[in-house]
Structure formats: C-alpha cells, structure tokens
Structure 1
Amino acid sequence: MTSWLHEERLAAAQAVVVGSGASSVLDLGCGDGDLFIRLAREPQITRLVGIDLSPEALARLRERLKSEAPTACSIELHLASMTRYERRFGGFDCAVLIETIEHLEPESLSMLERAVFGGMRPRLVVVTTPNAEFNPLLGVPAHRFRRPDHRFEWSRERFGRWAQGVAERSGYSVSRRDLGGGHPELGGASQMAVFRAL
C-alpha cells in the first residue's frame, strides 16, 4: 500500500486515541508496530500492550522499541489471537485494530466480535479496513484484493452494516469516516469506524 495512505491512516488513528484521553491501549494485530511506536511516544499513555500472531513481527517490534520509542509507559508484547478473549486483555481504555480484520476469514468475525466487544470490552475501539470501492483508483483489478493475504475487502455500505450490527449487539455507539482521499463517488482508500461504549 502506498506510504501516503499508511501515514494518513496512522495519524487518524493516533488522533482518535489521543483525543479520547485514553491512558491504556491494546493494539490488536500490532505487527511491526508502526502505530504502536507512535502511541508509545504519547505522554498520556501509561500502558501499551500489543498482540500479534507473528513471532517475527513481534521480534521486529521489540528491536524497534529499543531505539525508536524512548518512553516511560509500561509496554507488553504478546503472541496471541485477537479472536480469543483472555482476561489479561480486559480493562483497557482503548483497543485499535488497524488494517487487521480483512486478514481474518469472514466466518471468524463473530469470534472477533465476542472477544473484543464482549470480553475485552474497552471503552473505545478503533477499526480501519480497506474500502473496496476505491480499488480501481489504486490499479487493483476487480477480481483481486489489494494484498494476497486479505480474505475480504468491503465497500463502505458493507462495512457500515457490520459496524452498526456490532454496535447494536454490544452496547456501543459507532461513527465512521473515510481515510486517504475523498472521491465524490468512491470515498477514501481506507475507512475507519470508532466505537464508544454506552
């Protein structure tokens, strides 16, 4: 994915987290830590926990943290799944899922919903995912996804239905916005949903 979109997505997620006043953040699917590093530098964040299924990604993030994120906040990294609730991942102010849900099989989304919105139950959840409608402008053929490891890519309407359903079933409100451009018909390259516990 192009670096301008990645940068805009990270900045948007960071702004929502910081603007919420969150001091404890759970990064679900933290990967190499592009957002994690940014959050580790935020003075208001006192606890930051990242989970991922890739030992290699977590190892790279550990190395990055040594030089890129001098911080006084408590940091933990765990090899774990975002679709399985564990008590240690409960009680956070905020959880972020940045370009992660599309890597799950669609039938696993109900497990993710139960784990995050039912078990972990942070007061704020930030989710971003590609906007399939924008793919032609990125040169992505109609029969392909942006990345080979994506299991689905949703239109804004489809993402909206999923987000609204999760919110209604779980006791959250939700708002959505486009990220990475504002085409009058196709929206942005990515899309974000912000869930707030009621």
Structure 2
Amino acid sequence: MTTNRYVSPPPTMTPAAPTTLHEARLEAVLDRLVAGRARRIADLGCGRGALLDRLAGRTFVTEAVAVDLDAAPLDAITARFAADDRIKVQTVQGSLMDARLKLGPLDAAVLLEVIEHIRPEELSKLEIAVFRAWRPRQVIITTPNAEANDYLGVPRGRRRHWDHWFEWGRERFQRWATGVAARSGYRVEFEAIGSEFPSCGAPTQMAVFTA
C-alpha cells in the first residue's frame, strides 16, 4: 500500500515548499516526525547533517543523535550545534550495523537515503541493530525507486550514485520492509516522494515503521 499524506507541523512552524527531490525527501521525513511527536531521534548515516539543520523550530525534536562512520562531518555538526539552545545534538562515530552502539532511548530513527550504501549481505545486521537493539518506536527509511531511473536520465545498467550497492524497485523494497516489520514486531506503511511517473511511480520511496 502506498499512501500520500501531509501532516501539519506545530502551528508556529511554517514549512517551506520543496523545490528539489532532496528537499521533498526532507519535508516528507519532517512531516512523519511531527506526526509521531518524536522528541529524541537518531539520524543514522547523517552525513553532513541536512536533516538535523531542519529539526529545530520545525518539529518537536529537542534531542538528536547523529551517527556516521566519518569523523569529519560529525566534528562539523558538533561545532554547528554547540550554541543552538533549541536542540541538543550528540554525535556517535560508528557503524550502523554495530548493535553495541549506545544511542539511548529513541522516539524515532531516520535512515535518509542510507540503506542503498550498505552491502546487501549486511542488511540483516542493520536490521538487528535498528529494530531490535535500539528499537525506536518509529523508524523512517527512504531509498531510490529504481523503476524511475529511466525517467531521471540514469543510463541503463547504472545506478544513481557510484557508492550505491543496490537500488530496488517498489515491489522489492516493500517485500524487504514488510519482512523486517514482521520479524521485529512493527507495522509498516509506504509513501511515494516526488512527482510520480507513468507506470513506474515516484523517484523516492519511503517506509515508515511503527512499534
């Protein structure tokens, strides 16, 4: 099932209209965090922290844990949020497949365009860490919809980014996410992000898991 819905943010917060697919993904994730009233979240595979920059003043989130393998963006995030009294940001350097990482209690975890950067054989470790060890009550995952690649001008046989190990179509992604939900005791629903193309859907697909 694919659902498209908009959840109004708190009344003092005015969302900007998305102008790119990247912005549309961020807005879709923010909508879901607001709907779930998440206050403490983990941005798993945070990169430079684009999502973190939009949390303060736009959502209910007051604490965030930024997790990434690369120390450089984490250092930049620490410096950027050091004086921001609207949100407390903790950084953790480590692998998303390492269930031993101590992230503390979480309302939500976000994997924004992350799973396709993980070797397929490592996804089971990611599942164990996120859905069993850390177990937030909400998990939001976005990933490319490979069926839309032709419409985006991606040459056949290529992926959207050199670092992607895979890109799934809608049926494959939904089958994986449904299996994760069943094994972990979550419910899952799906949402299309971006303009939908004839017969192949939108360029980004999102799964929202709720415990």
Contact kept? 1:102, 1:153, Cα under 8 Å = yes
Tell me which amino acid in the other structure corresponds to 2:42: L
The structure with the greater share of residues assigned to helix is 1
Kindly state the Cα deviation for residue 80 of structure 1 after the two structures are TM-superposed.
Answer: 1.3
SS of corresponding position for 2:20: helix
Q: Counterpart of 1:110? A: 124
- The partner residue of 1:27 within 21, 26, 43 is 43
- The partner residue of 1:127 within 141, 144, 152 is 141
Tell me which amino acid in the other structure corresponds to 2:183: R
Kindly state the Cα deviation for residue 118 of structure 1 after the two structures are TM-superposed.
Answer: 0.8
Tell me which amino acid in the other structure corresponds to 1:109: L
Note the alpha carbon deviations across 1:21-75, whole angstroms, 9 max, x for none: 11110110011011011113346222111100111222333344368xx333221
- Are 1:83 and 2:97 matched, yes or no? yes
Alignment size in residue pairs: 193
- Are 1:162 and 2:187 matched, yes or no? no
Structure 1 gaps, min length 5:
none
Structure 2 gaps, min length 5:
1-18
- RMSD (CA atoms): 1.6
Q: Counterpart of 2:85? A: 71
Contact kept? 2:69, 2:93, Cα under 8 Å = yes
- The TM-score with structure 1 as length reference comes to 0.92
- The partner residue of 1:15 within 7, 18, 31 is 31
Tell me which amino acid in the other structure corresponds to 2:60: Q
Note the alpha carbon deviations across 1:69-113, whole angstroms, 9 max, x for none: x33322101111111113622420000000000000000000000
Q: Counterpart of 2:65? A: 49
Q: Counterpart of 1:176? A: 190
Note the alpha carbon deviations across 1:105-135, whole angstroms, 9 max, x for none: 0000000000000110000000000000010
